[in-house]
Structure 1
Amino acid sequence: MDNVIEIWPRELQPKVRYMIIWQCRKLSNILFPSNVIKGMQSLERLMVGWCQSVEVAFDHEGIIVREGNPDIVLPSLTKLVLRYLPKLTHVWKNNLLRIPSSQNLTSLTVVGCSSLRYMFSSSQAKLLVKLQEIAVAECGVLEAIVNEEPKVDDEVATNIIMFPQLNSLKLYHLPNIKSLCPQAYTFEGSFIEEIKVINCPNMRALPSALQCMLELQESNVREVEFFNSAQHHLLDRKFSLSTRGILNVTGIDEPTEKWHNQLEVGCLDKVRFMRVQCCGKLLSVVSSKLMQRLHNIQGLKVWWCDSLEMIFDLQEGVCADVAEKETLITQLSTLTLKYLPKLTHIWKNISQQTHCFENLSSLGVQHCDNLRYIFTISMANVLVNLQNLTVEHCEKVEKIVTRENEEEIFSQEIDYVYLLNLPSLVCFGPDVNNTEIPARRTDVRLCPKFSGNEDEIDSEERVFDFDTDFDIDVDELVVDDDDFAEYNFDERCQVLTIADYQLFRGKVYAYISY
């Protein structure tokens, strides 16, 4: 539905109860302007996904407040799901008159909205008295769930309770979130049954009232999960190494070799998985020297590094000597790259005789908008055990495999290839007429210039099930397919800490990655 710009016929607005807006690239930057909102009185469930131009979901500007009879906005809306809206900056906007809006909302799920800095204004949050479930994941610049607004006249905000019926809070992979709400506000914790906070390295504590409620009513808490918590922190929290061998590198701005030298050689032998995130000035991740020190690494994930241009830069030609094979990172099996806007090369200066990547079986690339190809023929032929290749949401990718010289021949076969939302893709490669994918199984969607695109084939068969499609489980979307899935973390403990701040005591169980 790339050419859809507006989808709001007035005669249908009062009748719509369930709505799914999917893959509309050119939709207006304001999804629901005020004149449309007023007509959607019956809308109960709304899901919006993969609409690249949407900046505002609900714009209240222009809604008239009549004295003694204010308009009620979206009075029937109970469930809202927003997925992969890269330009979204506001869910609700311009409600300066504090008109009652979405007061019956019970469930909110937001995933992959990389321009969103907060979920609610404080005035909007106070209106959502029936909200029971909040799930937010992979929003790279999100700083808070609730943002404080300028005070009106002499308004004083103290101990304002928000979300009094909240029972489930899930926050996954939010590298910049620092708090849930301003100090003058707090979450109500009476009904809390489930809290999951995974990879939120800058969030130091939950609101005190929520903490106290969990301590007082711990028997009512079904599950509490914190990953990225009880870890060994090095160098002012920029590095953390868990006892299970997970190395997190967060917020490094030094040149590659400089921060590599800060890592202890003995620690690197223990690293099984490395995650590099939010390193704004980093240009490359793995140098030839670091390559020789990560003997046991099995997984590498790099995301939200705005200046990163390449992942592996092997200027000194390591990995070519068979005699040194045992000392190199031949165990690497999984590589995941996401939200790297300046990435131009995954591998650079790689010899075709290398052994470093011969066990790589899974490669995933998402939201890397400056990348034009995934690998050269010589690099592709090195990846002799590559089984799964996923490339999604990369604006400039024109081909998957490219040729550096005319003598190169591509001979690799992959088990499964998944290509999604690659608007510039014309061929698998290396030549323009190479549209056949050398894989046993393929799935190609939203690749309009690629002749193997399967959208038209399935468009008539695609039927949304409104009873099940709205039941989005953010755990399945983000966590089950994430770094920790293949590592068996199932430890239980009775004390949970994030930084040095004790949050829960007693019998409340927590799953922690050590």
Structure 2
Amino acid sequence: MLRDLEELRIEYCGIGVIVAKDQVSESVTPLLKFPRLTFLELSSLENLRNFYPQKHTLEWPHLYRLSIRSCDELEIFEKEVSSSLEIHEEGSSLDSKYPLLSQCKVLLPKLEILRLSNLIGLIPLIWEDQLSHNSFRNLKTLFVESCGFVKLVPLRVLKSLNNLEELEVRECDTLELVFDFEDLNDYKEAESSSVIVPLKKLTLCGLQKLKNVWSNHYKGDVSFPSLRSVHVSYCESLTSLFPASIAKGMLRDLEELRIEYCGMDVIVAKDQLSESVAPLLEFPKLTFLKLSSLKNLRSFYPQTHTLEWPHLYRLSIRSCDKLEIFEKEVSSSLEIHEEGSSLDSKYPLLSHGKVTYNLEKLTLMGKGAEVIGSGQLSMYCFPKVKVLYLHVGYDESKSISYKLLKSFPNLEELRLRGHIKEALGGGDDAHLPIKLSLDEIYNITSLVPLLVSPPNLTHLHMVSCYELTTLMTSSVARSLVHLTSLSISNCDGIEEIIWKEEGEDDDDEEFVFSKLQHLKVERMPKIRSILSWTH
């Protein structure tokens, strides 16, 4: 009677079984058929032990998506291979558990999405040697959260996941290795071809004991040519992300790489084989690189190397203060680093003229922001950067110089944040942005040096600039003839937006901000007036 059922979701219920036992004694094993079921979700069913309380056969040939979360009493996979297509054995007691899924020849031929959560010790049963390779042949997305296992995907299973495109693993406290190539030698003896994994997106988060993503035994016979997005965060025990053998030419489709709050000191581990020439690490399609709160990170690669990412569009580096971002001197070759460096050497991430050409958005927080903000990086040029965000001085107050703008000839928007004690002019040849945003500026008491130079300024946005009492003088206001948007929020000390300078008469007043289209003033408890005199 449920032949048309397509979706079944059960959450936070006290049920012990999903289908109750028939009151009439059954002489044959009942067949429970769901020919059109495509989505099954079982979540937080703490008492659930079985789908049906006695021996039975289940069929759902078109199951497309399966999600099981926090059903600790439910046995999902058989521990041994059944001798028939039926899921359960004869003579089981009433307290027996009947595994939800059989290890028959074709288990879930249509399954594309598998979500497993809060299921301790489950993963090894999924990947039993006896499990048919056809069981997950159409699986595209595997999501695993809070499950107990040490190694996730062995090679023998990986080579059968012919359609796996997305893998996401979160909060698995015992996981030490994601892709296990321990059995690579056995595979090579049996198979002559290499393993090609179609994975496109990899997300790893909150894996406290993760030591390696790829096994150290990797030897180049397994490739990930379709990988486009990698996001790794809160993996404190991880010392590197990629083996050199994967990073060398096997990440040509990688478009996005984000690494946050990890313990790694390098991103690409050193090749186990000695190298006679500096390796070339190519990322021809990479457009977004984010490195955030990596307190141990010293280098992208621990030895002399060449980095190429010609289409890098967006770069964000926050709180990676051991990482050398910029070169101190111009290199005499196209290679980023010099020969004969010690293992403790730092290898600057960016060459002064090679890898920055197509960059349009640059975000720096910490040491890198202070180097840029000081205006002392004249050998670098970022010809296409349109948006620059600098967060400086979270340990002590720093100065910002408009000289920095000489490295950004086409800058449109400058965003500043942090402990800035003063702003210094950069001279007439500094290209000034048309948008200026100030967010949580703690120490600066006057914006006049920042606002005197930019006559082309069209947008000025300020949030939480606590020590300011006024925004600008009337003469500065008159110079901002192109200003169209002014937004001021949560600046507790500001009493006046514009004040009349000493010696200025009311006869000197003229209308300011003639092109202003948008004015926003909010959460300003001391504000008395926009102007210090009446028009």
Structure showing the higher helix proportion among its residues? 1
Same fold (TM over 0.5): no
TM-score, normalising length: structure 2: 0.41
TM-score, normalising length: structure 1: 0.42
Which structure: larger Rg? 2
Tell which has more relative contact order, 1 or 2 (C-alpha 8 A, sep 6+).
1
